[in-house]
Amino acid sequence: PHFLFNTINTIAMLIRTDPQRARELLREFAAFYRRTLEENEDLISLKRELDFVHKYLMFEGARFGERLKVEERIDDDLLELEVPAFILQPLVENSVKHGARPGGAVRVTISTARTESAYIIEVEDDGVGIRADDLPRVLEPGFGRGLGIALRNVDDRLKGHFGPESGLSVESVEGEGSTFHF
C-alpha cells in the first residue's frame, strides 16, 4: 500500500510542477496496476519480473530523482529462470523505502549468480541498514514500519514454491546497508 500512496502523492506533486510528466506517469501507473491485477501466473520468467521492477523504479525515480541509483548485474542466461511473480519488487521497494537516508541517496544493486547447486538472486542497498538487535526479527509478521508483511510474504512464497532451503536471507550492517538474497 505504501507504494500505491507514494506514487499517487508523487503524481499529485508533479501535476503542479510538471503536468506532462504527471500525465505520463499516471498512464504508466494505470498500465502497471492493470497488468498486476491481470497477472494470474504463479511463476514467471525473471525477465518479466525485472520488467515489473523497472516500472516500479520509474515511479520511484520520479519521486527520488538523482538520489536513487540502481545497478543491475543480471546473467543473461538466467533471464528465463522461473520465479514467483512479484518476488523482487518488494525487496527493491524495501531497499528504497527503508534504506534511503532522510533527504539522502540510496544505491540499489540487483544481481544474479549461479552455483553448482543453486541460482541466487540478490538485492543489495547502501542505505541505513538494520540494527543488529532487529535483524533476527525482520521476517516476523508485523515487524518494522507499515504492515510488516512484505519480507515475510517473500520468504513464505519462496519456501512454498521451492522448499524450505530456498527462503529469503537477510544480512545487514547498521549504517552501511542491507542485502536480501534467495
Going across the sheet that includes 106-114, the strands are 68-73, 106-114, 119-125, 177-181, 169-173
Amino acid identity at 131: R
Closest of 51, 55, 95 to residue 74, by C-alpha: 51
Amino acid (one-letter) located at 150: A
**Residue 31: predicted pLDDT:** 82
- β-pairing, 43-45 vs 82-84, is antiparallel
For the chain, state the CA radius of gyration.
Answer: 16
Cell of 105: 541517496
Whether residue 127 contacts residue 118, with contact meaning beta carbons closer than 8 Å, is answered with no
Task: State phi, psi for 119 to the nearest 5 degrees.
Answer: -105, 140
pLDDT (tens place) for every residue of the chain, 182 residues total: 667 777 888 888 889 999 998 999 889 888 877 776 666 668 899 999 999 899 889 888 888 888 999 999 999 999 999 999 889 988 999 899 888 888 888 999 999 999 998 999 999 999 999 999 999 988 887 776 655 678 888 999 999 999 998 899 999 999 999 999 99
